[in-house]
Structure formats: structure tokens, C-alpha cells
Amino acid sequence: MYHRENMKVLINVCEYRSLFQELLRGFEVKCIEEAEDEFIKEVEVFIAAGWKDVERLLPKLKNLKMIQTLSAGVNHLHFDKIPEHVIVCSNAGANAVAVAELALTHILVALKKYVYRYEEMKKGKFPQMIESRLLRDKTVGIIGLGNVGTSLIRLLKCFSPKIMGISRSGRTRENIDFVGDMGDLDYLLSQADIVVLALPLTKETRGLINREKLKLMKKDAILVNVARGKIIVEKDLFEHLKENPQFTAALDTWWHYGDEFKQEYPFEKLPNVLMTPHCGGVYENFWEDLIRHAAENVKLFYEGKPRNVVNRDDYL
């Protein structure tokens, strides 16, 4: 349990300084652009977007107790450089509904052959009688039943599919047709018409979906990734897509990021790939949602009950 009086919070999203200060009344909040060395030395909480500022300032943060990320994922952090007494909290849940909506969009676009029909009509053709598929009665397997996975379950239910899920604990509060743990992964992959990846990238999940796992899936399955690109082995997915033209990959997250879209393999040339630029969590006023969610957790931290505390053993 902590006391708010004079507690110092550092932020690195300076354009939202006023919102942070409004949400964290009773705390002393400063942006890295204005914080003097003495303030930085006394900071207890660093609310950070990205890693570079954290790494640069860590040697000066002598009183640091908590790092609160603005992102749901924390695989960009170098946990080996963060002192063991400093807790790290993710911002999981802040944009879960938006990411779940994009996952549902990918599913429907793939089932309805939307992109193909659109491109054909641009050429002056009218592909009315090419059959699409219904989501009704399909089996949707969701790997990862955190905030995104559970939000997706709620969105899916009005379409009446069969829903299977996998969580680390093998449990979920949602009423679905099957729930298992990672030991049930092969079973889910073999049964699902649609597989959605909604789990964090950790040392255990990196490369989880490889050639062997892809071979377990149905020939005409749809694989949706709104999690992290490196959960899938890039080469294995590319080759599987080439060898199985009825298989579809709908990808929002990637292996390589930069100013231009460029992966090790030319996914953009394959007709059975749907692509979006890691935009699931980008929507109207999303920064405000991220900030409010993070600020609320700082308050919980000072009450001694923070949420989304990261197990650093998952990353070291």
C-alpha cells in the first residue's frame, strides 16, 4: 500500500500530459521533456510507450517501483535490464474490443471472398455465383482467452458457430463448446475451421505455429493472427500457403516492421492472404483509451492491487 501524496509519475507521451494529470490528480506527473534529474531520481512509476526511453532513463530512476506500458504486449521490453524489484504491468484490455472486432472482420472477409469479389468487379467482372461460406455452424478455435479472446467470443455468439478455446489455465468464464490448455492445441487445430491467435508472444509461444502444426489444420482452414507475428514461423506459413491454395491466412501482425512493408517472404503476392498493417488497436480516440486504462492501473498499484502484472519468467 502506498500513499499518493507527492508520488511522482513519469510519462513519455508528452502530448497527453494534461490528460494524465487530470486522471492522476494527487500524483505529481511530469513528461520526460520537462522532468529535471532530481524528479527523475524520485520517480516511482514510469508510464511508457516503447522501450528506448525506458532503457535510456533506467540508470537515473533510482526509486522506480513500477513500469506501466501503454501497449498490451510487452515482448519489446528487455526484462534482463529491468531491476527485479520493479514490477512491470501491461495495458492488456485497453483496446481488446477493437482488436476482437478486427479479428471478426478478417473472418468474415475470408469467408465471403470479399477481396476477390472486389478486385474482380474493379476489372469489370460480376462474380455473383461464386459460393462463399457461412460462419454459422463453423468451428472457431481461439488460442488465447484473455481480453481479446473473450471479447471475440461475445462478438461471435450471434453468428452461432461452435467455439473452442485454449487458455494457459484451461479455464474461461465464457460459455463455449470446448476449453482446454496448451496440451489440447493439436486437437483444436485439427477440429477448427477458423483458428484465431490471440495470445502474447513469450519464450513459450514464439514459433508455436510451425509446419507440423499447420499440417494438422484443415486444408481450407482460415488462420487469423491478431496477436504477434513471431508466434508463427514465417517460412513455414509461406510455404504452407503456397502448397495449400484453399488455406487462408488473415494477418494483422508481422515478423518485420519498418517504414515499408517488407517481409522475408512475399506474402503480398499470394492470393490466399488477407493483410492489414497491425492496425487492430488503432481506432477513434484510441490513445485516450490506452491512457485511461493505464492511469487506472497506476491508482490500483498505489492501492496495492495492480492488474496485468507481467511474469518476467515468460520473457527471460
How many domains are there within the chain?
A: 2
Contact, 237 vs 264, CB < 8 A? no
Q: In the chain, which residue ranges form alpha helices assigned H by DSSP?
A: 17-23, 37-42, 52-57, 96-111, 114-122, 147-156, 185-191, 211-216, 234-243, 286-302
Q: Which of 151, 154, 153, 150 is nearest to 97 (CA)?
A: 151
Question: Per-residue pLDDT tens for 31-90?
Answer: 999 999 999 999 999 999 999 999 999 999 999 999 999 999 999 999 999 999 999 999
Percent of residues, the chain, with pLDDT higher than 70: 98
Distance CA(156)–CA(253), nearest Å, equals: 21
Residues 6 or more apart from 208 whose CB is under 8 A from it?
A: 185, 231, 232
Helix axes 96-111, 147-156, angle to 10 degrees: 50
User: Would you say residue 1 lies in a domain?
Assistant: no
* Residue 304 lies in domain: 8-94+285-314
| pLDDT value for 316 | 87
- pLDDT of 157 higher than 90: yes
Same domain flag for 113 and 249: yes
Is there a single domain that holds both residue 86 and residue 102? no
- With a pLDDT cut of 90, the percent of the chain lying above it is 97
Say whether both 42 and 151 belong to one domain.
no
**pLDDT band at 215, cuts 50/70/90?**
very high
Long-range contacts of 117-125 (CB under 8 A, 24+ apart): none
Residues in the chain: 316
Tell me: pLDDT of 152 over 60.
yes
Confidence of residue 4 (pLDDT cuts 50, 70, 90): low
Strands 28-31 and 45-48: unpaired
Q: From start to end of the chain, where are the E strands? A: 8-11, 28-31, 45-48, 66-69, 87-89, 139-143, 162-166, 178-180, 194-197, 222-225, 248-251, 273-275
Contact indicator for 223, 249 with CB cutoff of 8 Å: yes
Q: How far apart are alpha carbons 202 and 97 in whole angstroms?
A: 22
pLDDT of residue 5: 58
CATH number of the structural domain spanning residue 176: 3.40.50.720
Read off the pLDDT of residues 134-146 as tens digits, 9 standing for 90 and up: 999 999 999 999 9
Mean pLDDT of the chain: 96
Q: For residues 255 and 169, state if they share a domain.
A: yes
Q: How much is the average pLDDT of 173-184?
A: 97
Residue 147 lies in a domain: yes
**In one letter, which amino acid is 176?**
I
Q: Is the pLDDT of residue 311 over 80?
A: yes
Same domain, 215 and 67: no
Does residue 222 lie within any of the structural domains? yes
Predicted pLDDT at 1: 45
Quote the CA–CA distance of 129 and 49 in Å, as a whole number: 48
**In sequence order, what are the residues at sequence separation of 6 or more whose Cβ sits closer than 8 angstroms to the Cβ of residue 92?**
72, 146, 147, 308
Residue range 93-109, pLDDT digits in tens: 999 999 999 999 999 99
**230-275: pLDDT as tens digits:** 999 999 999 999 999 999 999 999 999 999 999 999 999 999 999 9
Task: Looking at the structure, tell me whether residues 76 and 62 fall in a common domain.
Answer: yes
Amino acid at 300: L
* Amino acid 6: pLDDT: 74
The reply to whether 31 and 154 lie within a common domain is: no
